[in-house]
Each structure stands twice: as C-alpha cells, then as structure tokens.
C-alpha cells in the first residue's frame, strides 16, 4: 500500500487487528527485513511496517533529512491513517526515529521497543578527532574550483577511516546520513515517559552493548534484555526469543 505525505510516496504494509504496532527498519534496509516477525505479531496486533523515505519503495527526501524530519513524517503517517496511539518498534536507525518521536510526541506513544538502537554518539577518540580536524580543513581546501572534483572521493576515504562504512553506501542519502549520525539523542532518551523495552544482541558490533545499557539508564521506565548469541539483527538471529520478550512486554499492563 502507498500513501502521499508532504509530496512523498510512503510505501507500507499492514496486517492484523487490535492495538497498532509500527515497525521502523534500520539504515539501508526496508520493511522486508521484518517479514519473519510480522505474521507472528499480526496474530495479536495490527502491524504496520514502513519503507522510510529514501528506502525500499518510498520516495527520496527532497532535501537532506534530520532525525526530526523522519519523526515528523511518522507523525503525519499516524494522522493520515487516523491512528490515535501506537506501539513503536525501532531497529538501529529506526530506533533513532522512535526515540525522537517518543520524546516529542508522547501522547501518540503507548509503548516503545528499541532493538539494537542507534542514537548514542560515540566519544571522539584522538584518532577520530584528528580525522574530523582534517575534514574541517578539507572544506576550505576543496572549496577551490580546481579541487572541487576531488571532494567527494576525499570525503569517502575520510569516513572509511573513521569507521562510517555506511557513508559510501548511502548514495543520494549521503547528506542525510551525515546529519543523522552527527546527532546524539541522549537528551531525548531522558525525556521518554512511555514504558520501554530495550532488546540488544549480545555480539552486536554495529551498536555496542554499552549503548543499550546507557539507554536503559537514560529512559526511566525501561527494561533491558540481552539476547545471547545474536548480533545487530537480534530479532532475526533469535526470532522466537525476541517475540517471546516482546509479547510478554506488550501484554503486561
């Protein structure tokens, strides 16, 4: 199914009845990443899975989007479908959106589930500080007309050096990617009032366990679950255990 929001075509799937659950995928993914858990969740809930703007079959953003821009699109999605309240499930980048949304639109959130969520900006190591200093110099250096054509190649190499491998895969979303990874959402996590379940893969290399523990401390009404022998896609690696924890959390009054 598709709807138009702010001239953007938003692709989504829905299944089931009862309370609304909205699934938000990670960077570079689309709604199909949830295909193994949607049928199970739809037995008890009305599930909505979105292709976020720029991913899957949804339109590209007309300009570089921030996390707030994505949260605004989500709010308008709820408004357009006349969904008064929803349970949000955000994986990785989708977790960023869920954190921002829950903090800024608390009346629209019933419960929140963060899965291997992004949103905690890592501390700047001396190496990273050095490369970011080079990036600032590069803005001046590559502003000269005869050097502009080398700017993107240099930028790509720089982000590879500091471990941001998704930058080179971002395509037309490169500027959006930069806006998103440079925002630390800790202050928004502290504002969340909704009951929150935080699920993390024991061996997650993309978003470390320490991020999950920190979110657990920042979100006052939260529970932290570690799924053993799982990575960044813990909901796929241990589907049954994941669904068990989610259903227990959602059934608890």
- Kindly indicate the confidence band of residue 152, based on its pLDDT and cuts at 50, 70 and 90: low
CA distances from 156 to 15, 66, 162 (A): 40, 20, 10
- Mean pLDDT (the chain, rounded): 87
User: Per residue in 126-140, pLDDT tens?
Assistant: 544 443 444 444 454
Report how far residue 200's alpha carbon sits from residue 114's, in angstroms, rounded to the nearest whole number. Answer: 8
More confident residue, 151 or 176: 176
Query: What is the reported pLDDT for 168?
Result: 57
Q: Which of 159, 178, 197 is the last residue of a domain?
A: 178
Considering the domain architecture, whether residues 218 and 105 belong to the same structural domain is answered as: yes
Report how far residue 160's alpha carbon sits from residue 135's, in angstroms, rounded to the nearest whole number. Answer: 12
More confident residue, 9 or 155: 9
Considering the domain architecture, whether residues 197 and 223 belong to the same structural domain is answered as: yes
Considering the domain architecture, whether residues 80 and 167 belong to the same structural domain is answered as: no
Return the percentage of the chain with pLDDT > 70, whole number.
80
Considering the domain architecture, whether residues 98 and 131 belong to the same structural domain is answered as: no
How far is Cα of residue 175 from the mean position of the Cα atoms in its chain? 16
Considering the domain architecture, whether residues 160 and 99 belong to the same structural domain is answered as: no
Query: What is the reported pLDDT for 169?
Result: 64
More confident residue, 188 or 131: 188
Q: Give the predicted TM-score (pTM) of the model.
A: 0.85
Query: What is the reported pLDDT for 127?
Result: 44
Considering the domain architecture, whether residues 139 and 191 belong to the same structural domain is answered as: no
Query: What is the reported pLDDT for 162?
Result: 46
CATH number of the domain that residue 35 is part of? 3.40.50.1820
Q: Which of 178, 200, 217 is the last residue of a domain?
A: 178
Query: What is the reported pLDDT for 130?
Result: 46
| Structural domain boundaries, residue 16 | 2-121+183-251
Domain count, the chain: 2
Considering the domain architecture, whether residues 80 and 108 belong to the same structural domain is answered as: yes
User: Per residue in 1-48, pLDDT tens?
Assistant: 999 999 999 999 999 999 999 999 999 999 999 999 999 999 999 999
DSSP characters over the chain = -EEEETTEEEEEEEE--SSEEEEE--TT--GGGGTTTHHHHTTTSEEEEE--TTSTTSPPPSS---HHHHHHHHHHHHHHTT---EEEEEETHHHHHHHHHHHH-GGGEEEEEEES---PPPP--HHHHHHHHHHHHHHHHTTSGGGGGGHHHHHHHHHHHTT-THHHH-GGGHHHHHHHHT---HHHHHT--S-EEEEEETT-SSS-HHHHHHHHHHSTTEEEEEETT--TTHHHHTHHHHHHHHHHHHH--
Considering the domain architecture, whether residues 236 and 201 belong to the same structural domain is answered as: yes
Considering the domain architecture, whether residues 147 and 38 belong to the same structural domain is answered as: no
Average pLDDT over residues 154-176: 64
Query: What is the reported pLDDT for 158?
Result: 52
User: Per residue in 80-115, pLDDT tens?
Assistant: 999 999 999 999 999 999 999 999 999 999 999 999
N-term to C-term CA, the chain: 32
Report how far residue 70's alpha carbon sits from residue 219's, in angstroms, rounded to the nearest whole number. Answer: 21
Considering the domain architecture, whether residues 110 and 17 belong to the same structural domain is answered as: yes
- Kindly indicate the confidence band of residue 161, based on its pLDDT and cuts at 50, 70 and 90: low
Considering the domain architecture, whether residues 136 and 16 belong to the same structural domain is answered as: no
Considering the domain architecture, whether residues 162 and 192 belong to the same structural domain is answered as: no
């Amino acid at each position: 199914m598709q709807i138009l929001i702010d001239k953007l075509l938003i692709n989504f799937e829905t299944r089931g009845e009862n309370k609304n659950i909205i699934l938000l995928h990670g960077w570079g993914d689309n709604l199909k990443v949830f295909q193994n858990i949607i049928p199970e969740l739809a037995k008890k809930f009305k599930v909505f899975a979105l292709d976020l703007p720029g991913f899957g079959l949804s339109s590209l953003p007309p300009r570089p989007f921030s996390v707030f821009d994505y949260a605004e699109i989500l709010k308008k999605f709820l408004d357009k479908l006349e969904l008064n309240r929803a349970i949000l499930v955000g994986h990785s980048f989708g977790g960023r959106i869920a954190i921002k949304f829950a903090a800024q639109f608390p009346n629209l959130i019933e419960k929140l589930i963060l899965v291997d969520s992004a949103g905690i900006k890592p501390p700047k190591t001396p190496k990273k500080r050095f490369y970011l200093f080079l990036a600032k110099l590069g803005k001046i250096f590559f502003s000269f007309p005869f050097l502009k054509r080398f700017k993107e190649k240099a930028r790509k190499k720089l982000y590879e050096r500091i471990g941001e491998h998704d930058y080179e895969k971002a395509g037309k979303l490169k500027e959006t990617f930069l806006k998103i990874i440079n925002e630390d959402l800790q202050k928004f996590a502290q504002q969340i009032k909704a009951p929150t379940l935080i699920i993390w893969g024991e061996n997650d290399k993309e978003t470390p366990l320490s991020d999950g523990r920190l979110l657990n401390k920042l979100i006052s009404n939260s529970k932290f679950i570690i799924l053993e022998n799982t990575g960044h896609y813990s909901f796929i690696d241990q589907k049954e255990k994941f669904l068990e924890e989610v259903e227990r959390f959602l059934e608890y009054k």
